[in-house]
């Protein structure tokens, strides 16, 4: 895998949309450093739209889209996108009708109870009360970290019950349906930004850190991993195109710095 430092500036110069994971891509141990926030603001000021794509809860996403320098946010593993309209009002789009998704969430909570009996060291994520659609089980945020075998057991229990489940750096997120981060990102890029397949290949970059980012590493040709993804790479079928030298939010800053530098140079159409 190539270092992001070796990325072709002619490729990066076309990028005007950055999709980014949040936990351990923008943050470190749950904290967003001032330099990372500044890098997001600098991208936006340069005309590069920043769109977090996270497993994080709806309450967290409401804050992000209102308070951070972003164009929109995708949350709960692709269940919805939030954005502010031209009047500063919140617009929500869900992958399916919300009442249907919330009925499924109640079923997921019953499955989660069974998973917690199998792995009693785990527990529901502290932000579960602020989730509209999915269920999150904590494996490395306020407990643990749990072993890879324990995380696999949690995922297996949801799969056995017919649910989708993926591990982020801190949670196992579970939901019903075949949507994921990449599916909602594709809808946002097409329906909100008007980008066709050719546009996306040239103008969209994704940066992430964990196995639940794999659908976006698969679908976004200009993809980047922060350095802390390294322990997970052997388990991924679809890996990022480039790897940052720095980890966590510092890796995001490294990517942003390279992207801004590329836009300052002439490029070939």
Which pTM does this prediction carry?
A: 0.94
Q: In whole angstroms, give the CA distance from residue 221 to residue 239.
A: 10
Domains and CATH numbers, the chain: 2-95+179-263 (3.40.50.1000), 98-175 (3.90.1070.10)
pLDDT tens track for 114-129: 999 999 999 999 999 9
Sign of the Cα pseudo-torsion (225, 240, 178, 116, in order): negative
pLDDT at 266: 59
pLDDT at 1: 82
Q: Residues 193, 9, 228, CA angle at the centre, nearest 5°?
A: 80
How would residue 255 be classed by pLDDT, with cut points 50, 70 and 90?
very high
Which residues, at least 6 apart from 76, have a Cβ–Cβ distance to it below 8 Å? 55, 56, 57, 58, 61, 131, 132, 133, 134, 173, 175
Which residues, at least 6 apart from 264, have a Cβ–Cβ distance to it below 8 Å? none
pLDDT tens track for 27-43: 999 999 999 999 999 99
Q: Which residue has the tokens 């809860």?
A: 57
Q: In whole angstroms, give the CA distance from residue 128 to residue 138.
A: 10
pLDDT at 269: 47
pLDDT at 16: 97
Count the neighbouring beta carbons within 10 Å of the beta carbon of residue 63: 14
Mean pLDDT of 163-192: 96
Reply yes or no on whether the pLDDT at 267 is more than 70.
no
pLDDT tens track for 197-238: 999 999 999 999 999 999 999 999 999 999 999 999 999 999
Mean pLDDT of the chain: 96
pLDDT at 265: 75
Mean pLDDT of 175-192: 96
pLDDT tens track for 86-122: 999 999 999 999 999 999 999 999 999 999 999 999 9
Question: Which residues of the chain form beta strands (DSSP E)?
Answer: 2-3, 17-20, 27-28, 31-32, 49-52, 73-75, 80-84, 90-94, 123-124, 135-138, 164-167, 171-175, 204-208, 222-225, 242-243
């Amino acid at each position: 895998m190539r270092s992001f430092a070796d990325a072709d500036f002619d490729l990066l110069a076309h990028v005007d949309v950055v999709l980014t994971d949040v936990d351990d891509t923008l943050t470190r141990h749950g904290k967003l450093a001032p330099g990372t926030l500044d890098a997001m603001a600098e991208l936006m000021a340069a005309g590069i739209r920043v769109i977090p794509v996270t497993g994080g809860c709806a309450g967290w996403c409401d804050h992000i889209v209102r308070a951070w320098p972003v164009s929109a946010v995708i949350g709960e593993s692709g269940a919805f996108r939030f954005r502010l309209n031209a009047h500063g009002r919140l617009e929500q789009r869900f992958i399916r009708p919300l009442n249907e998704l919330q009925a499924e969430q109640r079923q997921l909570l019953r499955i989660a109870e069974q998973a917690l009996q199998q792995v009693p060291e785990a527990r529901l994520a502290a932000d579960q009360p602020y989730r509209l659609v999915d269920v999150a089980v904590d494996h490395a945020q306020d407990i643990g970290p749990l072993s890879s075998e324990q995380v696999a057991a949690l995922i297996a229990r949801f799969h056995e019950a017919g649910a989708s489940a993926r591990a982020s750096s801190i949670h196992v997120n579970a939901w019903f349906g075949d949507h994921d981060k990449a599916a909602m990102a594709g809808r946002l890029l097409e329906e909100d930004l008007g980008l066709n397949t050719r546009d996306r290949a040239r103008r969209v970059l994704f940066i992430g850190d964990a196995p639940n980012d794999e659908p976006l590493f698969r679908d976004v040709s200009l993809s980047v991993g922060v350095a802390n993804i390294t322990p997970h790479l052997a388990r991924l079928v679809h890996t990022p195109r480039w790897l940052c030298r720095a980890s966590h939010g510092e890796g995001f800053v490294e990517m942003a710095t390279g992207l801004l530098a590329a836009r300052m140079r002439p490029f070939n159409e």
